[in-house]
Structure 1
Amino acid sequence: MATVLALVAALLLGQRPPTAHAASDPAWGVLASGCTTSDIAANRAVGIGLVEVEAYWDRWLPTSAGVENTDYVADLSARVTACLDAGLRVVLGTGTQYPPSWVRGLPGATLVDQRGDSADTGAIDTVFSAAVRSAQDDYLRRIVAALPVARLDGIRVGTSAAGEIGFPGPNESGTGFLQSFWAFGADAQQGTGLAAGMPRTPMPGWVPGTRTWNGTTVTPAAARNWFLWYERSLMYAVKGQADTLRTAGYTGAVHVPAPGKGVLPADLTAATNALLNGTGDRDGSLGRGLYYVDQFPVLAGNVASTVVVDLTGVDDATAVTARALTPAQDTCQANDATTSIQSSTPVASWSNLRFARAQAARAGLAAVGENPGPPAAQTGGTSNSDSEAEQIRRSPAYARGCALAAFFLAFEDVLDDPSSGSDRQDYVDAVTGTS
């Protein structure tokens, strides 16, 4: 029994037990840990040694700039420290997806699409607005000053209302309009109040789908150049956060959660040939500004900190579809990094994880991953997703097969909820292959 327990602990802590996966087995963790005394005890009891802990911007600075909720800061610091002192590895989520109400009133905070609509999902402009970026930078510096960041495994950064990279998605204007591009505020269009280091649009006033601009014909090349500016703006925003953390004294890894598979090369060709009028948009990735083929190399070449891509589609609905094909297309293969951008490769049938993992490998970036969580939780799962129990069962094989450095199970509270039907032992059994 002692030998079995030692093996389980080694697997979950990401050490190298004598198994077939000894050279590359991921570390196994959980998302959104409370790091309470009971959480720590429960995780240690089964050998879970890696946790993600979320900070909340709106709880840290709830009323105004510079006025901290000292009770919240002290509590968060104590919980993170308790996890670390107990021997757990910790990745911190900055929680910039939870902006205080006063931030929403800053100049340029409201995202605006090409129709003049704003996002109805709570997303704010952390990409182009200088005022929002300044407030965000102040918050990030406070995190570095108040928390034991030198002991962390990583800090997560993002731009979206989900804490991932990306602009709002399809129909997030709430008007029924399915393809918004969120770069039509005065900052991005005119340079008024534009965040430092951010280039303004290469075609001020041009609306995607429009055939002319300033009296000249818009070519597919010009439309492509506009889209590259749009999607790279997200990377410059991520770089800004990483630079702020580094300047404040944090020298560790920056984790960048990346949803879906993003725009495929063939999609972008079809889309820009149609001048971004909506053609070629499989899943809303164009409006979200997700083009990992280009973005991951941009991150690798421009961010001074160590970048770890967090692939949030482990066993998502696309995995369910891809593994039903003949042959199955859900599992990462050794040559994916080189074949994924070849025109003859049917990457549209690959799972999100497989394609996005290939782009991280192409860029030379380490990758971790997480499952979407319960289908009804609105955290990435859909009616076509596996159940949470099935995600727990299948995710370890996907994480191993895609050579992920770590896997975070979504979520810790699912394992604490008797009604979920899954607990920590089920997770351990899935990892060790005893389920």
Structure 2
Amino acid sequence: MRFRALGAGLAGVLLLAGAACPSYADPAPVEPAWGVVDSACAPDRLAAQRGAGLSVAVVDAHWDRLQPRPGAFEPAAAAGLAARVTRCLDAGMRVVLGSGAQYPPSWVRDLPDALLRDQHGGVARTGGVDLVFAAAPRAALDDYLTRLVAAVPATRLTGVRVGTSAAGEIGYPGPHESGYGVTSWWAFGAPAQTGRDLAPGQQPSPLPGWAPGSAQWEGRAVTAVDAGRWFGWYSGALVEALAAQARVLRGAGFAGEVHLPVPGRGVLPADRSVAVGSLLDGHGDRDGSLHRGLDHVAAMPGIAAAVPGPVVVDLTSVDDATAVRARALDPPEDTCRPEDPAVALDPTVRVERWSNLRFARAQAARAGLPVVGENPGPPGETTGGAADSDQEAEQVRRAPGYARNCGLAAFTLAFEEDLHTPRSGVTLADYVAAMLRT
């Protein structure tokens, strides 16, 4: 799970609102653009990074700092964010702004139906706010995003990131994040179940009151078709939530790219069949994707159709733990191949052996979506790096190669701070060496 800011890179030029704006939309970049995640936009660091060939800075906003009370932004926090973004822009960096929706202020958590709830009434220990179904926190977010666009030099930004989870990515909390210690599904607040105070654009449960795994609903047997319809609603609501945030940004006058951070590979097609056949009782959930609502096979085309463009997918799994496992196989299955989009849904192909990046990249390609990426960050921290991920120095060495191999338009390294502090054991020179390696 990531709590430090997340990022993306840049390639190409797109004409937006009558002016030349930087873009990630080049479908066939010769070489990824390189950047860093969570940039401080400090002048000395910017000079070093620009001199080394980096061109992208990811700057993260924080909702709780900008709007600690309902209403207008905190002036000092807004001015500080604008100054930080401007320093990066004036240094020649292309900036992607993390919206900071994953940091809701305490007053938002106190709004009606604000907390995500599972089928047992539990709430997520990570404190996730229901930005998918609940109208009150969604309205607060809409107001925040509108003010955010006004507070920064938005016409100079390359992109703005949106998400639904406490990590700033697409998805619900994990299956074991309830305080009850049970396997959780996260669509059991009143708005999702009854339609009361439901966020605009969403639909209530197609099987109100039904909990996954139950064989009966309203006096009749539940079928696999029912379970598949429920899961399609559950996962599809995430796409609509992202589209709603994008629509607010467009309404506020932001014409640049909307970036969607996408974790993992999502539920695999064979696992989804097992899951719905067992009425979502827990079978087929290989890595928690099912309970998080991550169905990249369906979501990528949904994103392409529903999210007002330009839109860019940011794959946050470049050299994650699945890459470590996949490259240890014989033959290795960690690198992308030209035929992947055509064969990724072939039931005879063992895609469970592929790395997360490889499978997710194939789904984005099938949907025609531009893709950038980033590494998970150091293992053992609340960043996304698992215990069996590569150590950070190895991620710095390997991730740029994966980005180049998979045809990503850009790659940003998590995190900038680690390139400028001795205790991390990695340096800007290490990153540049990996960038230049063929």
- TM-score using structure 1 length: 0.93
Q: Secondary structure at the match of 1:376?
A: coil
Counterpart of 2:323 in structure 1: which amino acid? A
1:81 aligns with 2:86: yes
1:328 aligns with 2:344: no
Q: Name the residue aligned to 1:108.
A: 113
Q: Distance in 2 between matches of 1:247 and 1:308?
A: 19
Q: Distance in 1 between matches of 2:34 and 2:310?
A: 20
Q: Distance in 2 between matches of 1:259 and 1:24?
A: 25
Displacement of 1:272 in angstroms is 0.4
Structure 1 segment 84-233 matched on structure 2, within 5 A: 84-177=89-182, 179-233=183-237
Contact 2:11 2:29 in 1 (8 A): no
Contact 1:300 1:363 in 2 (8 A): yes
Task: Identify the match of residue 54 of structure 1 among 57, 60, 63.
Answer: 60
Displacement of 1:176 in angstroms is 2.2
Q: Distance in 1 between matches of 2:248 and 2:45?
A: 31
Structure 1 segment 20-419 matched on structure 2, within 5 A: 24-62=30-68, 64-177=69-182, 179-419=183-423
Which 5+ residue runs of structure 1 have no aligned equivalent?
1-11, 16-21
Q: Distance in 1 between matches of 2:406 and 2:355?
A: 12
Contact 1:322 1:351 in 2 (8 A): yes
Distance 1:58 1:237, change over 3 A: same
Q: Distance in 2 between matches of 1:304 and 1:94?
A: 17
Percentage identity across aligned positions?
A: 57
Displacement of 1:307 in angstroms is 1.4
Contact 1:13 1:48 in 2 (8 A): no
Contact 1:331 1:401 in 2 (8 A): yes
Q: Distance in 1 between matches of 2:45 and 2:161?
A: 21
Q: Secondary structure at the match of 1:47?
A: coil
Contact 2:34 2:53 in 1 (8 A): no
Which 5+ residue runs of structure 2 have no aligned equivalent?
1-8, 13-27
Q: Name the residue aligned to 2:24.
A: none
Q: Distance in 1 between matches of 2:277 and 2:229?
A: 12
Counterpart of 1:197 in structure 2: which amino acid? G
Q: Distance in 1 between matches of 2:138 and 2:309?
A: 19
Q: Name the residue aligned to 2:433.
A: 429
Q: Distance in 1 between matches of 2:404 and 2:236?
A: 30
Q: Distance in 2 between matches of 1:43 and 1:138?
A: 35
Q: Distance in 2 between matches of 1:126 and 1:301?
A: 20
The structure that is helix-richer by fraction is 1
- What's the CA shift string for 1:151-179, capped at 9, x where partnerless? 111111000000000000021003321x3
Contact 2:170 2:263 in 1 (8 A): yes
Q: Secondary structure at the match of 1:407?
A: strand
- What's the CA shift string for 1:3-31, capped at 9, x where partnerless? xxxxxxxxx9868xxxxxx9521100100
Contact 1:13 1:47 in 2 (8 A): no
Displacement of 1:370 in angstroms is 0.4
Q: Secondary structure at the match of 1:118?
A: coil
Contact 2:418 2:426 in 1 (8 A): yes
Contact 2:115 2:127 in 1 (8 A): no
Displacement of 1:417 in angstroms is 1.3
Counterpart of 1:30 in structure 2: which amino acid? V
Q: Distance in 2 between matches of 1:25 and 1:47?
A: 12
Contact 2:170 2:238 in 1 (8 A): yes
Q: Distance in 1 between matches of 2:44 and 2:195?
A: 50
Contact 2:29 2:409 in 1 (8 A): no
Q: Distance in 2 between matches of 1:46 and 1:123?
A: 38
Displacement of 1:371 in angstroms is 0.3
Q: Distance in 2 between matches of 1:369 and 1:46?
A: 20
